[in-house]
């Protein structure tokens, strides 16, 4: 079967699509232009209205192709579907033949099996055929925060951290394929490990990934001021492979607005944290 994959949204979606492409290839499917594909998968984002409109527009643009080729299958995946798909998805998107939650690679393979079995347990978020020396490496999914404006917890579910050894195995696999820079991903990456046995922290994971031979640079996204710890700042400062930069969204510059947004910190607290980071890593 020939497939085409369209991706919109954040780095996590891009990582999911890379992993899905690798899985489809291993299963025996072949990539193809949309005009020649038997299956088109749209990996969607709905965190912002524009992103959802873009995905809806993309889906509608396939109406003519579907009309000319009735056997074409179209699948909708990602945040527009969510972890608990709504019952009316088929009514809202009648062009779509199947719906899959974010990161649901196993479910896609089960719905569209190829001639070869694929064990996705150790499959990296990397399409080796695409090449490149950088890659995204998800380490946690979902979010436990309830920011007033954000639907990520509703679309991607609660926080789930991947075990340290699983992350390390994937990092080694990426390095063996020529990756030299990895970006560790999580909707709230600083909260990594709180749900795992032994409660490893992101600082612990950075130190472990730092030892992977072949890797030269390590980054991580996206941080929450509430979960940024002195130990994590110290790890970034001490580990040569850790890039001296931290993504720390400010969101707003007024305490009342931060409170209304559900952000549990103050402007003064945010500034103190930034000062600590700058003092440690010279950013």
What are the structural domain ranges in the chain? 2-121, 131-281
* Structure-model confidence comparison of residues 166 and 152, the more confident one: 166
2-121 under CATH 3.80.30.20, yes or no: no
The overall average pLDDT reported for the chain is 93
* 129 has a pLDDT exceeding 80: no
What pLDDT sits at residue 122?
72
* 270 has a pLDDT exceeding 60: yes
The Cα–Cα gap between 157 and 8 comes to 19
What pLDDT sits at residue 85?
75
* 124 has a pLDDT exceeding 90: no
What pLDDT sits at residue 130?
65
Most confident of 47-51, 113-117, 148-152: 113-117
Query: Considering the domain 131-281 in this protein, what is its CATH number?
Result: 3.80.30.20
What pLDDT sits at residue 131?
67
The Cα–Cα gap between 201 and 83 comes to 26
The closest of 102, 75, 82, 96 to 16, measured between CA atoms, is: 102
What pLDDT sits at residue 216?
98
What pLDDT sits at residue 259?
94
Q: What is the mean pLDDT of residues 238-259?
A: 93
What pLDDT sits at residue 86?
75
* 120 has a pLDDT exceeding 90: no
- Residue by residue, DSSP assigns the chain as -EEEEEE-SSHHHHHHHHHHHHHHHHTT-EE--GGG-SEEEEEE--SSHHHHHHHHHHHHHTHHHHHH-TT-EEEEEETTT-SS--TTHHHH-TT-SEEE-TT-HHHHHHHS--SS---GGG--S--GGG--SEEEEE-EE------TT--HHHHH-S-EEPPHHHHHHHHHHHHHTT--EEEEE-TTGGGTTTTSTT---HHHHHHHHHTSTT--EEEEE---GGG--HHHHHHHHH-TTB-S--------S-HHHHHHTT--S-HHHHHHHHHHHHHHH--
197-214 tens-digit pLDDT: 999 999 999 999 999 999
- Tokens for 103, please give them: 């990161």
29-57 tens-digit pLDDT: 999 999 999 999 999 998 888 889 999 99
Bond into 222 cis (ω within 30): yes
What pLDDT sits at residue 14?
93
* 75 has a pLDDT exceeding 90: yes
What pLDDT sits at residue 121?
77
What is the reported pTM?
Answer: 0.89
* 283 has a pLDDT exceeding 60: no
């Amino acid at each position: 079967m020939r497939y085409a994959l369209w991706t919109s949204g954040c780095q996590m979606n891009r990582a999911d699509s890379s992993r899905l492409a690798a899985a489809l290839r291993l299963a025996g499917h072949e990539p193809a232009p949309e005009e020649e594909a038997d299956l088109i998968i749209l990996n969607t984002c709905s965190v912002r209205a524009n992103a959802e409109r873009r995905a809806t527009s993309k889906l509608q643009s396939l109406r003519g192709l579907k009309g000319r080729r009735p056997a074409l299958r179209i699948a909708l995946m990602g945040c527009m579907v969510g972890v608990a798909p709504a019952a009316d998805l088929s009514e809202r998107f009648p062009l779509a033949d199947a719906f899959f939650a974010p990161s649901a690679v196993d479910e896609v393979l089960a719905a569209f099996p190829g001639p070869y079995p694929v064990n996705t347990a150790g499959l990296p978020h990397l399409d080796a055929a695409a090449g490149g020396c950088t890659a995204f490496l998800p380490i946690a999914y979902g979010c436990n925060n309830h920011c007033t404006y954000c639907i990520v917890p509703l679309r991607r579910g609660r926080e789930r951290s991947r075990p340290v050894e699983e992350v390390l195995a994937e990092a080694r696999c990426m390095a063996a394929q020529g990756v030299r820079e990895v970006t560790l991903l999580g909707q709230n990456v600083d909260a990594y490990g709180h749900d795992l046995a032994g409660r490893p922290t992101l600082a612990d994971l950075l130190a472990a990934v730092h030892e992977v031979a072949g890797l030269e640079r390590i980054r991580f996204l996206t941080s929450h001021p509430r979960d940024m710890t002195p130990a994590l700042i110290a790890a970034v400062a001490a580990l040569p492979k850790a890039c001296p930069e931290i993504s720390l969204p400010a969101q707003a510059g007024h305490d009342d607005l931060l409170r209304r947004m559900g952000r549990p910190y103050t402007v003064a607290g945010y500034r103190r944290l930034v000062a600590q980071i700058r003092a440690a890593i010279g950013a």
